[in-house]
């Protein structure tokens, strides 16, 4: 078998991508007939996704890793710690020797690599005229190794192409492994969790019809059908080779999420939540469309990569230029040292009108094209805001918890909502520093807002939902502050521990049949596996670890790197930018508080509801097995030994390792990511992260474990704040007043306008015409025409009557008339003759 | 008399339903099943004929990748006025013809439940089909008009006799609205006819317009030789007059050779010395007024806001199959007319009024979507969704996005029609896609109406549990209307929306915002009808599973929605060459037009400086003011 990456990777990943689709089709048509009540449909779906996982693993370990050496020098997240302490297994001695290269490593590290981008890349070391200190002297990194191609075209218009294709780099392969692994775990878990649906009829206790609980046929196979379609759509986003294809699958995951949230469609709350999720996502997609239009009109392409030949080499024209450059190659050309410079077509598109005949200062101003770049960047980010439930579109995610818990674990925490972060990461080279600032601001607001709401929530799944929103905010913050690796690192680690947490909560719900934490307590004894795997999840999410050592749970590594990046950013920019750091640290504290509040309330103390406690039981093995597996990953996935950051670093988008500086906001600097690994930043950030998490856990323990403080009294004391948080900052009410009601109002007005104004006008016209016709009829036809005719007729009639008088029947009278007539005729004849003669 | 001749083949396609209607008229009373099956057989036969064009059907074939008219034929009809029996197919009309024959079968199957005056219904239905197919094939303006009217009358009766409670009102509203459009169109046709001059065309154009016929080999194999032979021929009356007029050297006595040939009119309209550029009234040219009249006529049919209010009434009152035909085919005639007639014949007016056309499209999109949000009647909601979706068509047809000013080199404008092609192709795609999705949506409403006899959205619910298979189809079809990727509605919408930005950013943003409203009204309707625990309305016991007959209708629609959504090239392969060619012709025309305007401006010299300065800013957006100003200043110079 041909295992060269350029040929093998697209095939392997396409197979992994299409297997769930095949499973969807099979279950769609014959699902119900597969085994008793469609039980085997579950096995079909599991088989498909596990095969997809195995294929992804082959792609990763057999094709990708042997062919693409991980970066030799690490400026990755925690490897310097390894250097300092010399106990990280992966670290070799020579790293000490190369520590000096740290400063300008991205290029050096990758210089010898088999990048398909064989152009002379970095002769412009001095081309960086940027006066900003953070950037000075660093050449930006060239494009990472990737494989790009099209499968087929949706439409081609001249040079404009909309295609379905692939873009495969280290990030794609990593995401494939992550998504398929978690999806496999969730599928297997769901075999147990959804077991009730195998009963026919299934009793839905939350819906009451005619005074009885609703009984309906089980929908076991439907669940797996949707789940398979979801996996297909999600992998489609990951493998997508262009923005249009991302958009296609973006919407498709949206619709799968709609079906899965609305899985219990008999429940009004579920169908409403499904609608809400889809419509709110569409609001984000509206922004995304604008961003896409801006790109499409100015660059004429959506492709992430440049056109490649069968061997994975970039196709060049005869003059040596790239034949069909993608978005990133157009925005960050080698000539510009891979810095973000709007190309001429973008400047032209922004300026629209004809440039003034004399090229004045304004024409050459360096800000040209940046506004359009900002529109494109923020537009694409809008889509991510919707999908990743960022402020102000975060409102749908907590409601999405109406879906079955495996869905929450897979779709609404680990993968789909992470797709927004993934897209920001994928699209990273095209974000100008101002767009990144927007991303950071949104991320910052989201992470703190959601964390505050999570503190008061009592529904176990909603706490986790807000926690998800908050963690996604962290990722966005990291990306916005320039920490590309930090953000995506957290995306991967978070996927593992958050799906673990959700599945643990599902296990709890499965056992006690309630979501309400106020009815739980002390479950640790009843369900130890769930309890301790969940503890692992909690420790992972709060970033537990031994500060300044490479020992810790996965969240420890990723969250620390985010805080380091925030610190680095704040240090570079100063002033108000410290808020980002402050919120990140405070947010970490809140995370620790609400997560341990959740754990303590659920698993420790005395049972609050004895009836439920007595019925509780540990879940079957088909459910706990995945928990244990995920717990292992939640602990270890980020360990330096596994070199995850090295893998991500391989995919570092073109030119982004060097940071950048603002054009529209002149003094904005996005620091290069490796700067955040400076020892003093690491030290301070590590201590800050540790102490904030410690404070959070301590606080939760004080209130909920040791009971020194009564939560009810705290509620009373801070009643206004509590009410605000309990009502989720009144966002739903606000949007109802601001958008939903006005939209319905406008709709009604427009419908009324149609009937009341347009139709009224038409009816008036019709009546006017009728009236006119009637008047016309009366005046003209009846009076004038008919009148004339009738008058003539009357005259004739009268004349006839007159003549009748002459008809007397008397012969003598007639003879008299004849004689008189003859006489008159003769007279007339002679008179006429006389006149003519004379 | 064999089928390998296009005149026989295509005429049979058009008039087979009419012949069938004639035959049905002699059917004895009471044989209703026989009447139905005969009608079904005729619609299927017509569909088979249209399918035959995909293959080499006895020499008459529609080839992919060919931009020009195919299988074109002509025969004199009323030679005195140059009226011909002229028909042909190209990538613009062919998909619409196939859509028509396809939907005719499905909607006839859907009309099986009609029991009142079956024979009359079938006769009118077949006459309607003849009119619809004929309109898409006719290339003679007079023939087009006649068939347009032929289609109108059966529709009036079909709504007025077989409709709902307010059928008379709806029927007369539909009829009068459309009639107003027809009358305006007639005026425009006559305006164009009496100003047309066939002698302006060169041999190639005459060949393209079907006036001169080229043979594959022999002496008439090139346009020039064919023209030379044609113009000398004694037995062709048209050639004789052509010769006479050409021979006349005295400009004072020179007459024009009028024509109704749409293709010839296109060439005349795009001619440099087009007679349509003469001033008609209020300082506007003949083609400007003709464009306005034609556009209003077609906008009524589309329908565009504010000429749309007949549609909801007609749909609500019409029986299900007629709604399917109305939404699936009749609305497309408006878009077809704009694309086939308005733009190519009156390019200068189209250039001038492009923003107005786009604005009409965008307003319809927003208006229809908001109005759909407010409806409680299921069918009215779907009708308004048609208004919204057809807005995309008008918008896509209207975008005149053409290249851009160079950023660095002052004065260099690159002409590049790619975005424009994308918009027009998107609009065409949207027409076909909407034909499938809206017919499907009306069918889905009809299935429920047949059972429970009401359409109140608030009195449904729980249909998913009662009729799962039907609900599955319905949800797929409604999602196709929503524009979900992977289904047909998405492709057209995304092509159109992406192409608009280049023309107007404001309109692009508004049109993109419609995706939110569309999602809102469709999902809300799905929730109210299909989801939920229980059915809330009357006649709940009648909610029986889908009949096989209904299954037969739902399956092809769903399959088409998926196929076109996943593999749009299946349609674009047939459609795109013709659309691209037409857009390219218009783009070339625009380039010539701009160049002549530039030249004019230069020749006017320095005193017109203020006009010259106005050019750069206003060129793509508002050429109207500029054009009039230049024309007014140009007239004395001439």
User: Could you report the per-residue pLDDT of B108-160, keeping only the tens digit for each?
Assistant: 999 998 888 899 999 999 999 999 999 999 999 999 999 999 888 999 999 99
Chain A residues touching residue B524 (CB < 8 angstroms): 275
Residues forming beta bridges with residue A202, ordered by sequence position: A216
Any alpha helices (H) in A64-142, and if so which ranges?
Answer: 65-67, 79-85, 94-97, 105-111
Residues forming beta bridges with residue A240, ordered by sequence position: A166
A833: Cβ–Cβ under 8 A, 6 or more apart, which residues? Answer: none
**How close does chain B come to A667, measured CA to CA in Å?**
27
Please give the full DSSP string across A313-324, using - where no structure is assigned.
PBPB-TTSSBSS
- Please tell me the distance from the alpha carbon of residue B203 to that of residue B224, in angstroms, as a whole number: 6
Pick from A484, A468, A489, A503: nearest CA to A639 = A489
Residue A377 has pLDDT above 70, yes or no: yes
State what percent of residues in chain A have pLDDT above 90: 44
Average pLDDT, rounded, for chain A: 84
- Please tell me the distance from the alpha carbon of residue A147 to that of residue A11, in angstroms, as a whole number: 12
Residue A471 has pLDDT above 90, yes or no: yes
The DSSP output letter for A210 is T
Give Cα B439 distance to the centre of its chain.
16
Q: Which pLDDT value is given to residue A630?
A: 92
Q: What is the mean pLDDT of residues A518-540?
A: 89
Q: Where are the beta strands (DSSP E) in A335-407?
A: none
Lowest average pLDDT, out of A496-500, A597-601, B227-231, B381-385, goes to: B227-231
pLDDT tier for residue A143 given thresholds of 50, 70 and 90 = confident
Kindly report the pTM of this predicted structure.
0.88
Residue A431 has pLDDT above 50, yes or no: yes
Contact A286, B519 (CB under 8 A): no
Please give the full DSSP string across A218-270, using - where no structure is assigned.
--HHHHHHHHHHHHHHHHHHHHBSBHHHHHHHHHHHHHHHHHHHTTSTTSHHH
User: Could you report the per-residue pLDDT of A187-208, keeping only the tens digit for each?
Assistant: 999 998 888 888 878 888 888 8
User: Could you report the per-residue pLDDT of B266-286, keeping only the tens digit for each?
Assistant: 999 888 888 888 887 788 888
pLDDT tier for residue A367 given thresholds of 50, 70 and 90 = low
Q: Which pLDDT value is given to residue B527?
A: 93
Q: Which pLDDT value is given to residue A521?
A: 83
Interface of B with A in 470-529 (CB under 8 A): 479, 484-486, 490-491, 494-495, 497-498, 500-502, 508-509, 512-513, 515-517, 519-520, 523-524, 527
Residue A402 burial by CB count (10 A; 0-12/13-18/19+): exposed, middle or buried? buried
Tokens encoding A627? 């928990």
The DSSP output letter for B539 is -
- Please tell me the distance from the alpha carbon of residue A70 to that of residue A73, in angstroms, as a whole number: 9
Q: What is the mean pLDDT of residues B248-259?
A: 80
User: Could you report the per-residue pLDDT of A622-665, keeping only the tens digit for each?
Assistant: 889 999 999 999 998 888 888 888 888 888 888 888 778 888 88
Q: Is B352 helix (H, G, I), strand (E, B) or coil?
A: helix
The DSSP output letter for B197 is -
Q: What is the mean pLDDT of residues A367-387?
A: 89
Interface of B with A in 287-326 (CB under 8 A): 306, 308-309, 312
Residue B221 burial by CB count (10 A; 0-12/13-18/19+): exposed, middle or buried? exposed
Give residue for tokens 């230069």.
Answer: B602
Taking an 8 Å cut-off on Cβ atoms, the answer to whether B512 and A293 are in contact is yes
Contact B363, B511 (CB under 8 A): no
Residues forming beta bridges with residue A242, ordered by sequence position: A303
- Please tell me the distance from the alpha carbon of residue A458 to that of residue B325, in angstroms, as a whole number: 54
Taking an 8 Å cut-off on Cβ atoms, the answer to whether B490 and A248 are in contact is yes
Q: What is the mean pLDDT of residues A362-391?
A: 83
Q: Which pLDDT value is given to residue B534?
A: 86
Residues forming beta bridges with residue A167, ordered by sequence position: A148
Highest mean pLDDT out of A364-373, B207-216, B466-475: B466-475
Query: Which whole-number Å values give the CA distances from B149 to B132, B179, B335, in the listed order?
Result: 10, 8, 17
Tokens encoding B249? 């050297």
Lowest average pLDDT, out of A311-325, A589-603, B592-606, goes to: B592-606
- Please tell me the distance from the alpha carbon of residue B394 to that of residue B397, in angstroms, as a whole number: 5
Interface of B with A in 154-173 (CB under 8 A): 173
Residue B526 has pLDDT above 70, yes or no: yes
- Please tell me the distance from the alpha carbon of residue A277 to that of residue A275, in angstroms, as a whole number: 5
Residue A124 has pLDDT above 70, yes or no: no
Give residue for tokens 């539909």.
Answer: B174
- Please tell me the distance from the alpha carbon of residue B622 to that of residue B258, in angstroms, as a whole number: 33
Taking an 8 Å cut-off on Cβ atoms, the answer to whether A344 and B406 are in contact is yes
Tokens encoding A281? 């996502």
Residue A25: how many other CB atoms lie within 10 Å: 15
Residue A408 has pLDDT above 70, yes or no: yes
Contact A563, A585 (CB under 8 A): yes
pLDDT tier for residue A139 given thresholds of 50, 70 and 90 = low
- Please tell me the distance from the alpha carbon of residue A760 to that of residue A769, in angstroms, as a whole number: 14
Query: Which whole-number Å values give the CA distances from A19 to A45, A194, A233, B484, B577, in the listed order?
Result: 9, 22, 11, 22, 36
**How close does chain B come to A298, measured CA to CA in Å?**
8
Query: Which whole-number Å values give the CA distances from A344 to A128, A323, A352, A377, A627, in the listed order?
Result: 20, 17, 12, 18, 53
Of B422, B494, B515, the CB nearest to A157: B422
Domain regions of chain B by residue span: 197-257, 606-638
Q: What is the mean pLDDT of residues A752-777?
A: 91
Q: Which pLDDT value is given to residue A125?
A: 35
Q: Is A205 helix (H, G, I), strand (E, B) or coil?
A: strand
Residue A773 burial by CB count (10 A; 0-12/13-18/19+): exposed, middle or buried? exposed
Pairing relationship of beta strands B284-285 and B279-281 according to DSSP bridges: antiparallel
Residues in chain A: 838
Pairing relationship of beta strands A669-670 and B284-285 according to DSSP bridges: unpaired
Angle between the N-to-C axes of helices B6-25 and B118-137, in degrees from 0 to 180, rounded to the nearest 10? 160
pLDDT tier for residue B201 given thresholds of 50, 70 and 90 = confident
The DSSP output letter for A369 is T
Residue B166 has pLDDT above 80, yes or no: yes
For residue A107, which phi and psi values (nearest 5 degrees)? -70, -50
A717: Cβ–Cβ under 8 A, 6 or more apart, which residues? Answer: none
Tokens encoding A517? 């934490």
pLDDT tier for residue B634 given thresholds of 50, 70 and 90 = very low
Pick from A161, A167, A144: nearest CA to A324 = A161
Chain A residues touching residue B567 (CB < 8 angstroms): 152
- Please tell me the distance from the alpha carbon of residue A442 to that of residue A431, in angstroms, as a whole number: 15
B52: Cβ–Cβ under 8 A, 6 or more apart, which residues? Answer: B9, B58, B60
Tokens encoding B452? 């429970």
- Please tell me the distance from the alpha carbon of residue B573 to that of residue A683, in angstroms, as a whole number: 63
| B464 at interface of A, judged by CB pairs closer than 8 A | yes
pLDDT tier for residue A136 given thresholds of 50, 70 and 90 = very low
Residue scoring higher pLDDT (A206 or A737): A737
Residue A252 has pLDDT above 60, yes or no: yes
Q: Which pLDDT value is given to residue A366?
A: 62
Residue scoring higher pLDDT (B58 or A672): A672
B406: Cβ–Cβ under 8 A, 6 or more apart, which residues? Answer: A344, A348, A355, B412, B413, B414
Give residue for tokens 């309890």.
Answer: A531
Taking an 8 Å cut-off on Cβ atoms, the answer to whether A747 and B306 are in contact is no
Give Cα A476 distance to the centre of its chain.
13
Of A249, A251, A296, the CB nearest to B501: A296
Q: What is the mean pLDDT of residues A596-615?
A: 87
Average pLDDT, rounded, for chain B: 87
Chain B residues touching residue A762 (CB < 8 angstroms): 173, 309
Buried b (16+ CB within 10 A) or exposed e, A74-112: bbbbbbbbbbeeeebebbeeebeebeebbebbbbbbbee
User: Could you report the per-residue pLDDT of A780-813, keeping only the tens digit for each?
Assistant: 888 888 889 999 999 999 999 998 887 788 888 8
- Please tell me the distance from the alpha carbon of residue A597 to that of residue A414, in angstroms, as a whole number: 22
A222: Cβ–Cβ under 8 A, 6 or more apart, which residues? Answer: A31, A263
Contact A170, A68 (CB under 8 A): yes
Q: What is the mean pLDDT of residues B227-248?
A: 81
Contact A37, A218 (CB under 8 A): yes
Taking an 8 Å cut-off on Cβ atoms, the answer to whether A743 and B520 are in contact is yes
Tokens encoding A232? 């297909």
Residue A116 has pLDDT above 60, yes or no: no
pLDDT tier for residue A72 given thresholds of 50, 70 and 90 = low
**How close does chain A come to B490, measured CA to CA in Å?**
9
Pick from B334, B255, B252, B349: nearest CA to B298 = B334
Q: Which pLDDT value is given to residue B477?
A: 95
Residue B481 has pLDDT above 70, yes or no: yes
Nearest CA in chain B to A350: B407
Taking an 8 Å cut-off on Cβ atoms, the answer to whether A349 and B404 are in contact is yes
């Amino acid at each position: 078998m041909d295992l060269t990456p350029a040929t093998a990777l697209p095939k392997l990943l396409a197979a992994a991508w299409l297997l769930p689709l095949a499973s969807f089709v099979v279950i769609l048509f014959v699902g119900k007939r597969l085994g008793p009540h469609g039980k085997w449909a579950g096995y079909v779906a599991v088989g498909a996704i596990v095969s997809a996982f195995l294929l992804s693993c082959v792609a990763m370990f057999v094709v990708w890793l042997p062919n693409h050496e991980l970066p030799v020098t690490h400026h990755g997240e925690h490897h310097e710690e390894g250097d300092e302490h010399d106990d990280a297994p992966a670290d070799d001695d020579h790293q000490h020797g190369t520590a000096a290269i740290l400063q300008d490593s991205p290029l050096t590290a990758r210089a010898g690599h088999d990048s398909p981008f064989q152009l002379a890349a970095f002769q412009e070391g001095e081309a960086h005229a940027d006066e900003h200190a953070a950037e000075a002297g660093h050449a930006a990194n060239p494009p990472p190794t990737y494989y790009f191609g099209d499968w087929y075209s949706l439409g081609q218009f001249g040079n404009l192409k909309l295609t379905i294709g692939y873009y495969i780099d280290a990030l794609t392969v990593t995401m494939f492994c992550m998504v398929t692994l978690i999806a496999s775990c969730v599928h297997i878990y769901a075999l147990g969790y959804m077991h009730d649906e195998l009963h026919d009829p299934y009793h839905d206790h939350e819906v009451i019809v005619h005074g009885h609980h609703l009984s309906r046929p089980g929908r076991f196979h439907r669940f797996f059908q949707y789940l398979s379609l979801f996996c297909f759509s999600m992998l489609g986003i990951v493998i997508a080779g262009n923005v249009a294809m991302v958009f296609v699958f973006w919407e498709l995951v949206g619709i799968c999420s709609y079906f899965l949230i609305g899985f219990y469609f008999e429940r009004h709350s579920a169908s409403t939540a499904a609608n809400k999720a889809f419509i709110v996502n569409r609001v984000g997609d509206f922004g995304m469309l604008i961003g896409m239009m801006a790109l499409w009109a100015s660059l004429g392409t959506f492709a992430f990569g440049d056109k490649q030949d069968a061997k994975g080499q970039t196709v060049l024209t005869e003059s040596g230029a790239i034949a069909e450059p993608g978005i990133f190659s157009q925005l960050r050309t080698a000539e510009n040292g891979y810095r973000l410079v709007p190309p001429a077509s973008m400047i032209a598109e922004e300026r629209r009108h004809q440039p003034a005949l004399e090229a004045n200062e304004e024409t050459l101003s360096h800000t040209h094209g940046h506004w359009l770049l900002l529109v494109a960047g923020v537009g694409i980010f809008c889509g991510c805001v919707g999908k990743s439930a960022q402020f102000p579109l975060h409102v749908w995610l907590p409601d999405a918890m109406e879906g079955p818990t495996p869905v929450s674990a897979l779709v609404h925490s680990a993968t789909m909502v992470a797709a927004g972060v993934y897209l920001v990461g994928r699209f990273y080279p095209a974000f100008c520093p101002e767009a990144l600032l927007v991303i950071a601001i949104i991320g910052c607001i989201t992470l703190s807002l959601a964390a505050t709401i999570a503190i008061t929530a009592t529904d176990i799944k909603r706490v986790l939902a807000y926690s998800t929103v908050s963690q996604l905010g962290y990722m966005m913050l990291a990306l916005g502050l320039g920490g590309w690796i930090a953000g995506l690192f957290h995306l991967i680690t978070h996927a593992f521990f958050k799906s673990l947490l959700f599945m643990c909560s599902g296990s709890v719900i499965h056992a006690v049949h309630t979501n309400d934490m106020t009815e739980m307590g002390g479950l640790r004894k009843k369900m130890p596996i769930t309890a301790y795997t969940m503890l692992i999840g909690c420790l992972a999410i709060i970033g537990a670890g031994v500060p300044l050592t490479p020992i810790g749970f996965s969240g420890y590594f990723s969250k620390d790197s985010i805080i380091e990046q925030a610190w680095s950013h704040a240090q570079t920019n100063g002033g108000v930018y410290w808020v980002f750091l402050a919120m990140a640290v405070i947010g970490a504290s809140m995370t620790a508080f609400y997560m341990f509040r959740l754990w303590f309330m659920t698993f420790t103390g005395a049972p609050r509801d004895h009836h439920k406690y007595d019925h509780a039981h540990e879940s079957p093995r088909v459910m706990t097995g995945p928990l244990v597996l995920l717990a292992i990953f939640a602990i270890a996935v980020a360990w330096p030994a596994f070199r995850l950051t090295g893998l991500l670093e391989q995919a570092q988008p073109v030119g982004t390792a060097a940071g950048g500086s603002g054009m529209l906001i002149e003094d904005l600097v996005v620091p290069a990511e490796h700067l955040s690994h400076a020892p003093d930043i690491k030290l301070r950030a590590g201590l800050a992260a540790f102490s904030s998490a410690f404070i959070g856990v301590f606080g939760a323990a004080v209130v909920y474990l040791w009971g020194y403080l009564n939560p009810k009294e705290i509620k009373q004391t801070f009643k206004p704040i509590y009410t605000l948080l309990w009502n989720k900052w009144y966002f739903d009410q606000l949007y109802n007043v601001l958008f939903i009601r006005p939209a319905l109002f406008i709709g009604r007005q427009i419908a009324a306008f149609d009937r009341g104004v347009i139709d009224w006008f038409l009816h008036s016209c019709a009546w006017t015409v009728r009236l006119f016709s009637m008047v016309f009829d009366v005046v003209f036809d009846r009076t004038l025409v008919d009148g004339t005719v009738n008058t003539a007729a009357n005259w004739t009639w009268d004349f006839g009557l007159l003549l009748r008088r002459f008809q007397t029947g008397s012969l003598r009278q007639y003879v008299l008339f004849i004689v008189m007539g003859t006489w008159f005729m003769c007279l007339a004849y002679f008179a006429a003759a006389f006149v003519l003669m004379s | 008399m064999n089928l390998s001749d296009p005149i026989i083949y295509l005429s049979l396609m058009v008039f087979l339903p009419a012949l069938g209607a004639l035959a049905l008229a002699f059917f004895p009373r009471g044989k209703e099943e026989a009447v139905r099956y005969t009608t079904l057989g005729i619609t299927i036969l017509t569909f088979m004929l249209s399918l035959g064009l995909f293959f080499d059907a006895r020499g008459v074939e529609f080839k992919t990748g060919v931009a020009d008219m195919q299988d074109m034929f002509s025969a004199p009809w009323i030679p005195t006025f140059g009226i011909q029996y002229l028909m042909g197919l190209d990538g613009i009309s062919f998909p619409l013809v196939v859509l028509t024959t396809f939907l005719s079968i499905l909607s006839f199957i859907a009309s099986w439940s009609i029991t009142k005056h079956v024979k009359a219904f079938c006769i009118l239905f077949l006459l309607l089909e003849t009119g619809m197919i004929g309109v898409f094939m006719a290339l003679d303006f007079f023939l087009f008009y006649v068939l347009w009217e032929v289609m109108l009358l059966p529709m009036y009766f079909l709504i007025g006799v077989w409709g709902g409670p307010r059928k008379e009102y709806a029927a007369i509203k539909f009829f009068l609205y459309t009639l107003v459009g027809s009358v305006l169109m007639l005026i425009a046709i006559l305006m164009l006819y009496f100003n047309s001059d066939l002698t302006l065309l060169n041999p190639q154009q005459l060949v393209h317009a079907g006036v001169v016929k080229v043979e594959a080999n022999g002496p008439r194999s090139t346009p020039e030789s064919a023209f030379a032979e044609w113009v000398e021929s004694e037995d062709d009356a048209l050639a004789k007059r052509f010769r006479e007029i050409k021979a006349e050297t005295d400009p004072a006595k020179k007459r024009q050779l009028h024509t109704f040939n749409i293709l010839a009119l296109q060439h005349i309209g795009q001619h440099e010395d087009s007679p349509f550029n003469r001033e008609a009234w209020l300082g506007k040219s003949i083609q400007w007024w003709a464009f306005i009249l034609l556009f209003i006529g077609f906008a009524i049919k589309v329908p565009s806001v504010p000429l749309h209010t007949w549609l909801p009434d007609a749909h609500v009152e019409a029986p299900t199959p007629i709604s399917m035909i109305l939404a699936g085919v009749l609305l497309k005639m408006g878009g077809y007319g704009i694309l086939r007639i308005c733009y190519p014949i009156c390019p200068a007016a189209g250039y001038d009024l492009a923003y107005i056309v786009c604005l009409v499209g965008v307003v319809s999109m927003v208006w229809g979507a908001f109005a759909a949000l407010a409806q409680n009647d299921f069918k009215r909601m779907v009708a308004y969704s048609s208004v919204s979706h057809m807005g995309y068509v008008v918008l896509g047809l209207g975008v005149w996005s053409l290249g851009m000013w160079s950023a660095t080199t002052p004065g260099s404008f690159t002409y590049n029609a790619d975005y424009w092609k994308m918009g027009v192709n998107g609009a065409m795609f949207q027409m076909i896609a909407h034909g499938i999705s809206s017919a499907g949506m009306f069918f889905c409403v009809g299935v429920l109406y047949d059972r429970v006899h009401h359409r109140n959205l608030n009195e449904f619910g729980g249909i998913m549990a009662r009729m799962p298979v039907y609900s599955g189809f319905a949800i797929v079809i409604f999602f196709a209307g929503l524009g979900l990727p992977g289904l047909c509605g998405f492709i057209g919408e995304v092509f159109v929306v992406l192409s608009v930005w280049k023309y107007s950013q404001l309109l692009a943003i508004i049109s993109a915002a419609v995706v939110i409203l569309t999602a809102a009204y469709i999902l809300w309707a799905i929730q109210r009808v299909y989801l939920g625990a229980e059915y809330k309305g009357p006649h709940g016991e009648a909610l029986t599973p889908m009949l096989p007959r209904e299954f037969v209708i739902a399956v092809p629609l769903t399959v088409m929605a998926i196929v076109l959504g996943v593999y749009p090239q299946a349609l674009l392969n047939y459609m795109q060459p013709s659309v691209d060619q037409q857009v390219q012709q218009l783009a070339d025309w625009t380039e010539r037009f701009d160049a002549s305007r530039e030249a004019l401006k230069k020749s006017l010299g320095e005193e017109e400086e203020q006009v010259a300065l106005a050019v750069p800013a206003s060129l793509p957006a508002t050429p109207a003011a500029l054009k009039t100003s230049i024309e007014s200043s140009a007239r004395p110079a001439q």
